[in-house]
Chain A
């Protein structure tokens, strides 16, 4: 297996990995060992690193991330959901399931936080039931309330605060996904396991 490193400007590099697990492991290694890096950002199958001074040598950590065994399973976080979202019936129609089955399949799967992006604390959760893989809305909503639980493509997610959004809205949670005054501010980190439970 190969690791490809591509330039991302004059102070950054994008490291391509075979899968999300390797990306999470590499990011962990780099954060532990490399104080000369400014940002270490996990993508779906990539790690973006940025730095301030001289170009760091990244090769060795990437190789070790590839050969190292998957670490211990991530922490399990339960997110209580009231399944009363405006798109629940639409998702049922798109999938040929009843709304009750949609809820059962969404709560039945163990999700994994693959990466954080879009908004502070917004975790892209993978590993959900494949029957619930529905396309995004053609026209995104201009405002989705904070705490909304939604799905799109292979992902589930929780909008941390009010924002525009094109995902299908299943319900809402009182879990606080991001709080700048909390340490750490984000409820979820890549590698965490997530279960949605009926509130």
Chain B
């Protein structure tokens, strides 16, 4: 069985698959690849079955040594490519912050609650990669690996994310939704897999009382008392007491997950929901 030695772990590299959906009632976050589109593409490129575990690198990727020539796909914040390697320096992310390393056969770590994903909020799943770690690769699938490169998704200069207003838009001043959608928001450097912190004009509340804790979904724009929204990603807590003014459409979440600190992002109300 092929083994991977982590020569250097990069800034933050975690194991990710499709996560732990359906366990939110136990307080278990969804987890899973923050950019599901890039992760699924990479698995298809190496012929892996759906749900095979991959590595998610953040900003600066790991250096990996394989003990046998191994087919890998790189997707996400890079030009999608399939290569056969014994040594792989993932390098810095371009056009985004998360690169997926999909290894033919998948990363074989012990699943926890049905998933191999690292959950940074609760500590479920394997710890982030450390230098010297050795990872096992699963058995090669019967499907062949795909072509060498595929066209990457176009990355817009200032991405626009579509939102569905609510569930708590009525807790905000009448013009707050308009304010959210009129100005570009700056992505804070204190963003992670739990959420992306956004900086811009404070969103005004209409109600000052405290919201009783309620369930949260990935993509929710939760607004703490500072008025600066937090866009929740896959490791978000399952409940929270800050009102959610709107939720990013699920097909726009992959784009949100690639927002780099310092970059700008715009929101628009999804025409289907106006």
Contact = CB atoms under 8 A, between A and B. Distances in A.
Contacts, number: 121
Contacts of B240: 117
Given A7-B166, A8-B166, A38-B21, A115 B26 contact: no
Contact of B167 (A14, A41, A50, A178): A14
Given A6-B167, A115-B239, A117-B239, A43 B247 contact: no
Nearest to B240: A117
Contact of B250 (A7, A11, A14, A48): A11
A74 B73 CA distance: 51
A48 B216 contact: yes
B122 A117 contact: no
Contacts of A44: 212-214
Interface string A36-67: 00111111111110100000000000000000
Q: Which of B23, B25, B26 has the most CB of A within 10 A?
A: B25
A186 B27 CA distance: 9
Q: Which of B164, B215, B216, B270 has the most CB of A within 10 A?
A: B215
Interface residues of A, number: 37
B83 interface: no
A46 B91 CA distance: 45
A77 B167 CA distance: 34
B96 interface: no
B219 to A, nearest CB: 6
Nearest to A160: B27
Interface stretch (A78-86, A104-112, A120-128): A120-128
B248 to A, nearest CB: 7
B237 interface: yes
A40 B164 contact: no
The list of the 5 closest CB pairs from A to B, nearest first, reads A48-B215, A117-B239, A43-B214, A9-B247, A41-B215
Interface of A: 6-14, 27, 38-48, 50, 115-122, 124, 161, 178, 180, 184-186
Given A12-B217, A178-B27, 19 more contacts: A7-B164, A7-B247, A8-B164, A9-B249, A10-B250, A14-B215, A39-B25, A41-B25, A43-B239, A46-B212, A48-B24, A48-B214, A50-B217, A116-B26, A117-B237, A118-B238, A120-B28, A124-B213, A180-B113
